Amino acid sequence: MTPVTHRPDLHRIGESAFVEVLDTLLSLPATVRDPTGLSPVSDALDQITGTVHLAGQRLSGSVHVQLPLSFVARAVQFLTGLDGTSKDAKAVLDDTAGELANMVAGRVAARLAADGYPCSLGIPSVSRGARLPSETQRGMDHGRADLICEGHVLSLAVQCRYAIA
Amino acid sequence: MTPKILSVDDSKTIRLALGRLFRPFACEWRDATNGEEGLAIAIREKPDLIILDCNMPVMDGVAMLRKLREDPELKRTPVIMLTAESGLENLAIVARLGVRDYVTKPFREEELLAKAGRIIPLIPRPGPRTTL
């Protein structure tokens, strides 16, 4: 018989981590976006993507969180009291997006560890206008979640490659 | 004496958010962007509490904590670790290094204030006086 290898449900893990971070940090309720609905999708140019790499003995991967600039500006205002829409707010907008990705990745890592795949986090990186990684990369498990929060569409992708036992 | 708090975190957002959280209380606030900078400030300023991030460039929180514990003047400085990671491995390392508490990001403000308040007195600053 071939042994059954349990693979974590990256979609479920990512989605619940994302919802928890938004609720705890910003006290904002988020709902899962209906994939059949007609919710607006923002232009990628108006988006900030925070990425955190995961590394462990049995797994390597990454967590990507894509957020509209207007949502991040609101988070900056809520957390720091600064005006996230001002001209000199770029650095703090990027930092906030990276930190949100870091917190989501931390929750994802905790759940992966509970599933038998412990891993540590890299330093967050941030890019503007980038698209989330697609599901077509070979050899990678992929989880994707889209949330609606305060009228904004927030997206997450988790990618993992597992070491062969 | 007014307690002195040092926040060490590479995220400007977190440093600003923590500074804002503790602003209503009578305390002196210092911050640093990595462990190396944090250690230099700790040596100079002798804080009463350090709120220390784990995952930072240049020198991470665990390395800074080890350096603090090697310093005779700083080895008893209370430290609250603040980190996005909640792995048991990390918890075990920092527990061995004598951290007073551990808070996982994202945190509830009241949770961090309660933990800090068990280490240093958090006395509300007097409000502005109204003159008639």
C-alpha–C-alpha distance, residues B80 and B48, integer Å = 11
Q: What angle do CA A16, A20, A26 make, to 5 degrees?
A: 145
Backbone dihedral region for residue A114 (phi beyond 0: left; psi -120 to 50: alpha; all else: beta): alpha
pLDDT tens-place string over residues A10-66:
999 999 999 999 999 888 888 887 666 555 555 556 899 999 999 999 999 999 999
Q: Which residue is closest to B111 within chain A, CA to CA? A: A24
Report the CATH number at residue A152. 3.40.1550.10
Q: Flag whether A1 is in a domain.
A: no
C-alpha–C-alpha distance, residues B86 and A123, integer Å = 16
Question: Which of B13, B56, B89 is the closest to A118 by Cβ?
Answer: B89
* CB hemisphere CA count around A88 (13 angstroms): 1
| Residue numbers in B near A110 (CB within 8 A) | 85-87
pLDDT tens-place string over residues A111-131:
999 898 999 899 999 999 877
**Is the pLDDT at B77 greater than 50, yes or no?**
yes
Question: Which of B11, B17, B85 is the closest to A106 by Cβ?
Answer: B85
Q: Which amino acid is at A42?
A: S
Burial class (CB in 10 A: 0-12, 13-18, 19+), A87: exposed
Q: Flag whether A3 is in a domain.
A: no
Could you tell me which residue, B129 or B47, shows the higher pLDDT? B47
A108 CB near a chain B CB, below 8 Å? no
pLDDT-derived band at A2, boundaries 50, 70, 90: very low
Mean pLDDT on B9-25: 95
Encoded tokens for B68: 């603090």
CB within 8 Å: A24 and B55: no
CB within 8 Å: B57 and A105: no
Q: Flag whether A4 is in a domain.
A: no
| Residue numbers in A near B14 (CB within 8 A) | 99
CA distance B104 to chain A (A): 9
pLDDT at A28: 84
Are residues A155 and A32 in contact, defined by beta-carbon separation less than 8 angstroms? no
Which residues neighbour B120 within 8 Å (Cβ) at sequence distance 6 or greater?
B3, B5, B27, B48, B49, B78
Encoded tokens for A96: 């906030």
CA distance B16 to chain A (A): 5
Encoded tokens for A128: 């503007």
C-alpha–C-alpha distance, residues A43 and A133, integer Å = 16
B55 CB near a chain A CB, below 8 Å? yes
Residue A87: which domain range?
10-34+46-162
Are residues B103 and B112 in contact, defined by beta-carbon separation less than 8 angstroms? yes
Q: Which amino acid is at B54?
A: C
CATH of B4-117, one of 3.30.1300.10, 2.60.15.10, 3.40.50.2300, 3.40.50.740: 3.40.50.2300
pLDDT-derived band at A165, boundaries 50, 70, 90: low
Question: Which of B86, B107, B108 is the closest to A110 by Cβ?
Answer: B86
Q: Flag whether A14 is in a domain.
A: yes
Q: Is the dihedral of CA A127, A130, A134, A138 positive or negative?
A: negative
| Residue numbers in A near B56 (CB within 8 A) | 123
**Is the pLDDT at B47 greater than 90, yes or no?**
yes
Q: How many domains does chain A have?
A: 1
Question: Which of A92, A118, A123 is the closest to B55 by Cβ?
Answer: A123
A92 CB near a chain B CB, below 8 Å? yes
Q: Flag whether A82 is in a domain.
A: yes
Mean pLDDT on A139-164: 89
CB within 8 Å: B13 and A105: no
Percent of chain B topping pLDDT 70: 92
Encoded tokens for B129: 């006086």
Give yes or no for a cis peptide into B47 (omega within 30° of 0): no
The interface pTM score, or ipTM, of the predicted complex is 0.86
Q: Flag whether A2 is in a domain.
A: no
Q: Flag whether A118 is in a domain.
A: yes
* CB hemisphere CA count around A76 (13 angstroms): 25
